[in-house]
Amino acid sequence: MSNFRFGRNTPKEIDDSITNITPLNTKNSRNSIWRQFEKFCGERKYVFDGNTSTEKLAFILKDWGYNMKKVDGNDYKEAVIKTMWNVTAKQLQELVVEMHATQNAGTYKYNRKKRKTSSSILTLEEYNKILKIYNEDTPDGLQKMFFYVAGLELAWRGCEGVNVTIKHFKEESDNCGLPTGRIEYNCIFSKTAQGGSHKLTDSKWLATNTTDPRICPVRLYKKMLSKRGKHITTDRLFLTPNPAWREPSSVGWFKNSPVGRNEMGKWTRTAAEEIGIDIKKKKISNHSLRSTAVSQLAKAGVGEEQLIKITGHANTFSIKPYLQLDGDHHYQMIDKLRANSTAMEESNNKSTNCAPSALVQMSKNIVTTSPSTQTPVNYYNCTIINYNS
C-alpha cells in the first residue's frame, strides 16, 4: 500500500491529461475568443509584461467586458459576454503566471507567439506530391484532390472545408447569360460555423486551369456534383465515401452523411506524412494550405492589401503570422537586393556622365567655396539616397 494519500502526477502529466479530455469545440472556442481579445488589446495599445500591475489587468478586463462587440458592431447577449469574459480571464491568468515564471519576461505578444505555433507552409514541390497521391476516379481521391486545390486557391481556414456547402458555390454567367467558366464562392457562415445572414468576406472565384486540366478546380467541382446520387439530401459538399461504390446496385459514390470534422482534420497531416514530411518537426494541418497560399502569393509579389481580399481578414496586421520565409523566398529577396544595388550603382555612375537636366542647369548657380582651395564647388551632381526602414 502506498504511503501517500494523494496522487503524485507531475505538472506535465496533469496538463497533458487536461488537454486530452478537453473537447475540440472548447479548444476552438477558447482560441477564437482569445484572438478577439488580442485584436481588442491591439486597438487599445495594451501591452502586458512581467511588471503589469493587477490593477491594470483588472481595468483591461473591465474595459474588455464592457466594450466587446460582434464583427458587425452589434452587442453580444449578456450570457455570451459572461462566458467570453470568464474564458479570457482564465487565459490571461495563465499568461501572467507564465510570464512571472520566466526570468526574461517578454512582451504580451512575444509570449503568445511562444504559446501558439502557426501551421507550417508546404513548398510547391510538397504540395504537388500530395496531389499526385490521389486518383480522382475514386470517391476519396476526387474529394481530396478538390479539397487541396480549392483549399489553396481560396485560402481556406483549417475547418472551413468541413462547413462548406454546395450553396456557397455559384456558376458565374456574363451579361448574356452564358457561363464564364468561373465559379463564385462566398461563405456566409462565421469562423465558428454558427451561421449568419450576411457575407463576411468578398467573393472569391474558382477559375479554369488551362495549364494543367488535371487539377482544374472547376472541372473537379462539377465532377463531384455529378457523383452525388439522388438520395443525397444534405447540402454539405464533402461526404462520406460509399464503400460499395463499385457495385452496379450502388446508389452512388457517396453516403448521405458529411465527412466528420475530426476525420477531415487529419487529411493534410496524413498526406504530408505519406509523402515523407516529418510531422513531428513540422506542424502540418489543413490550415497549412492557407499559410501556403498567403506565403506563395507574397513570394510572387502580391501586396498585403490584395492578400487580405483573398484571406478575408479585416486588416493587414492579421496576415503577419501567415507570412513564412522559406529558403527559395529568401534567396529571391537577396537576389533582388543585389540586383537593386547593382542598378543603383550603375545609375549613379551614369548620372555623373550624362548632361544635366534643365532643372539641374538652373541650380548650377548655387555654389559654395571650399575653404582650402577657395574654388567654387558645385553640388548639382550629388545624389541623395533615402534608405527607408
Residue 222 has pLDDT above 50, yes or no: yes
Residue with cell 477558447: 30
State pLDDT tens for residues 66-112.
Answer: 888 888 888 888 888 888 888 888 888 877 766 665 544 444 444 44
What confidence tens digit (pLDDT) does each residue in 53-65 have? 888 888 888 888 8
Tell how far CA 122 is from the center of its chain.
13
Asked if residue 352 has pLDDT above 70, the reply is no
Number of C-beta neighbours around residue 252 at 10 A: 18
Gap between the Cα atoms of 256 and 40, Å rounded: 42
Tell me: pLDDT of 140 over 80.
yes
Q: 321 or 288: which carries more pLDDT confidence?
A: 288
**pLDDT recorded at residue 197:** 44
Q: Is a pLDDT exceeding 90 seen at residue 5? A: no
CB within 8 Å of 182: residues ≥ 6 apart: 171, 172, 205, 206, 207, 208, 218
Residue 360: pLDDT band with limits 50, 70, 90: very low
pLDDT of residue 139: 95
Tell me the average pLDDT across 233-251: 89
* 282 vs 242: CA distance, rounded Å: 33
Contact 254, 242 (CB under 8 A): yes
Tell me the pLDDT of the chain averaged across its residues. 77
For the four alpha carbons of 266, 268, 269 and 275, in that order, the dihedral sign comes to positive
90 contacts: CB under 8 Å, gap ≥ 6: none
**Whether pLDDT at 46 is above 90:** no
β-bridge pairing 239-241 and 254-258: antiparallel
Q: Are strands 169-173 and 179-185 parallel, antiparallel or unpaired?
A: antiparallel
Q: Which 3 state secondary structure label does DSSP give 171?
A: strand
Contacts of 363 (CB under 8 A, 6+ apart): 380
pLDDT category of residue 26 using cuts at 50, 70 and 90: low
User: Is it the case that residue 379 has pLDDT exceeding 80?
Assistant: no
Judged against a pLDDT cut of 50, whether residue 322 lies above it is answered with yes
pLDDT of residue 169: 94
Burial of 287 (0-12, 13-18, 19+ CB in 10 A): buried
Nearest Cα to Cα of residue 91 among 119, 111, 68 = 111
Nearest of 189, 205, 186 to residue 197 by alpha carbon: 189
Q: What pLDDT was estimated at residue 66? A: 87
Cα–Cα distances in Å, from 223 out to 27, 227, 374? 35, 6, 85
> What is the tens place of the pLDDT at every residue in 251-304?
789 999 999 999 999 999 999 999 999 998 899 999 999 999 988 888 888 888
